[in-house]
Structure 1
Amino acid sequence: MSTKFRHDWIRAQARKTGKVTATHIAAELGVAVQTIRRDLRELCAAGLLERVHGGAVLPSGVQNIGYGDRRASNREAKLRIARRAARLIPDDASLFLNIGTTTEAVAHALHAHKNLMVVTNNLNVANILAENPSCDVIVAGGSLRRSDGGLVGDLAALAIDRFKVDFAVIGASAVDPGELLDFDPEEIRVSQQVIKAARSTILVADSTKFSRKAPVKIASLAQVDHFVTDRVPSEALINQCKDWGTQIASV
C-alpha cells in the first residue's frame, strides 16, 4: 500500500467524519499504528490536516478548533516556549497576558517571579496566577466566552486602554507570513489594544501556527519585539523580522 493511497484515504475519512485517529485508521487499513502516526505528522506538517488530541481534523480557515484540543496540541513545545518567554520578563514588571493556551503556559512559567502586576482578559490565566502570592492580578472586564474563559469585546478593550504595561505577551491562531491572525473580531480588538498599551510585545506561537489560516488580522510582526517559537520559521520570514527589528528565539 503506497503512502499516497494512505494519505488520500486519511483525508477522505477526515472529510467524511470530521476527525481521524491513528488507531482507527490502522485497524481499517491493516497497517501499523506507527505508520499512520507518521502519515498524520506528514499531513499536518503539509497543512493538509491539523493535530488535535487523539488524532487530526481538517484545517479550517474560519473556525478555531476546540479549546481542549488546542490545549493538548503540541503541548511540550508550548511549555518550552513559555519557559523561554518567562525569561524575558524580569521581577517587578507589569504585563498583559491575552487569551490562548500558550499564554496560559506562560502564566504557569511565571510562578517564581516576584512583584508582578498582570492584567489579563483570560480567566484561566487569572486563576493560574492567583497561586503566586507575589503577583497582583487585574482582570479586564468584558463578555465571557465560555468555550475558553476569554473576556472579549468593547468593555475589555476599554479596560486595557487605562494601562501602560512593560510587556504584552500575546498568542495568535495563525502566523501567515508577516501577519498575526485570529478568528474572533471581538478578541482581536482587545489584542490590538494590548499591543498599543505595551512598551514591549512578546509573541508566543508554536510552529503549527505557520501552516494554519485564520480570517482576521491582529497585527503585523513588525509590531512585535520578540517572537518565541519552537522551530525556526522560513528564511523569508527571518529576513523580514531582521528588517523590522523583531528578535526570534527558537526553543
Structure 2
Amino acid sequence: MRKKTTRQQEIILLLTEQPTLRISEIASHLGVTTETIRRDFRELTEKGRIDRMYGGALLRPGPDSNVAQRNDLLVDERKAIGRQASQALGDVQTIMMGSGATTIHAAHRIALDFNNITVIVHSIGAAVALAANPTINVLMAPGIFHLGEGAVHGVQTVEFLNRFNADWCILGASGLSAEGPNDLLIEGAEVYRTMNERSQRCMVLADSSKFNRIHVAPYAKWPQVDLLISNSLPGGDLRKAMESAKTRILVPETAPA
C-alpha cells in the first residue's frame, strides 16, 4: 500500500487533472478503501488543500484563481443552482446581478426563461450570457475592470447602481459564515452591498465549498438575505444563524443533497 504522504500527493494530482472527483473514483484509482480516502480528505481539508463536497472533494482555489478557472468546477451543481435561481425569481421585472461562476450559470438560465426584463450587471460574463436573449435589456455598469473576476468595480460602479432599484439581486460569495456572506475582493463586496441595498429581495448563490469560509470583506448579514441556493444544506452554526435570520435555503433536486 502506498505511504500516506505519497497517496495524498496523488490525490492532489488527480484533482489537478480533474477538478472534482468522488471518493469512490479516487479509491478505485488508488486501490484503497473509501474509508482510507475519507481520512485523507479530512487531513487535506484541515491543511487547506481541498474542499469537501457531497461524496467527494475539489481543490481549494487560491486567492488568485479567476472566474474562467472556476467555471470548470462543479459544473452540474452550478447549473442546477442557476436553474433554481431562475425559478425563484417569480414575476420579476428588474434584477441586479453580481459576478462569479455560479452567477453566470444563473444568467444563462434567465436568458432562457425570461423575456422583456431589465438586468443590471457588472460582470462581462453575465452580460454576454443575458445578451443571448434580445428581449432582455442589459445595463452594464461602468468601472475599473478586474481581469480575474471578469467584472468592474469601484466608485463609478457603485454610483451607477445607486441610480436604480430592482426587484431582486442575485449575488455570489467567496465564503459563507455565521455572520453572513463574504468576498475575497473588497471592491467586489462594496458592489454586492450596494446591489443588496437597492433591491427589494436578495438571493445568494454559493456551492457547498463556500460553507464556513471567512474572507476579508463581508457584504451582508443573514437578515439582509432572503434566500440561499446551494447544492447541499449547511450545518452547525451557519445553519443556525440562517434559521434565526429566517433566510430560506433551497437545494435543487438534481444537485447532491
TM-score band w.r.t. shorter chain: 0.7 to 0.9
Q: TM-score, normalised by structure 2?
A: 0.79
Give the structure 1 partner of residue 238 of structure 2.
Answer: 237
Residue pair 1:84, 1:228 contacting (<8 A) in 2 also: yes
Number of residue equivalences: 232
Report the CA distance between 1:148 and its aligned residue. Answer: 3.3
Distance 1:45 1:133, change over 3 A: farther
Distance 1:45 1:197, change over 3 A: farther
Residue pair 2:86, 2:113 contacting (<8 A) in 1 also: no
2:124 aligned with 1:128? no
Amino acid at match of 1:171: G
Give the structure 2 partner of residue 104 of structure 1.
Answer: 104
Counterparts of 1:32-71 in structure 2 under 5 Å? 33=29, 39=37, 42=41, 46=45, 48-50=48-50, 57=59, 60=62, 63-71=63-71
- 1:3 and 1:77 mapped to 2: Cα distance? 33
Report the CA distance between 1:64 and its aligned residue. Answer: 4.1
Give the structure 2 partner of residue 250 of structure 1.
Answer: 251
Task: Provide, for residues 212-243 of structure 1, a one-character-per-residue CA deviation record: whole Å limited to 9, x for no partner.
Answer: 44222122222100111110100432222222
Q: Percent identity?
A: 21
Give the structure 2 partner of residue 25 of structure 1.
Answer: none
Query: Which deviates more from structure 2 when the two are superposed, residues 105-114 or residues 231-240?
Result: 231-240
Residue pair 1:92, 1:114 contacting (<8 A) in 2 also: no
Give the structure 1 partner of residue 72 of structure 2.
Answer: 72
Counterparts of 1:6-25 in structure 2 under 5 Å? 6=6, 9=9, 20-21=16-17
Give the structure 2 partner of residue 190 of structure 1.
Answer: 191
Task: Provide, for residues 102-143 of structure 1, a one-character-per-residue CA deviation record: whole Å limited to 9, x for no partner.
Answer: 110000111221221100001111111111122111011111
- 1:141 and 1:35 mapped to 2: Cα distance? 53
Report the CA distance between 1:174 and its aligned residue. Answer: 1.0
Counterparts of 1:145-224 in structure 2 under 5 Å? 145-210=146-211, 212-224=213-225
The SS at the match of 2:113 is: coil
Distance 1:58 1:117, change over 3 A: closer
Report the CA distance between 1:82 and its aligned residue. Answer: 0.7
Amino acid at match of 1:214: H
Distance 1:101 1:73, change over 3 A: same
Residue pair 1:201, 1:223 contacting (<8 A) in 2 also: yes
The SS at the match of 2:219 is: strand
Distance 1:248 1:220, change over 3 A: same
The SS at the match of 1:181 is: strand
- 1:195 and 1:92 mapped to 2: Cα distance? 16
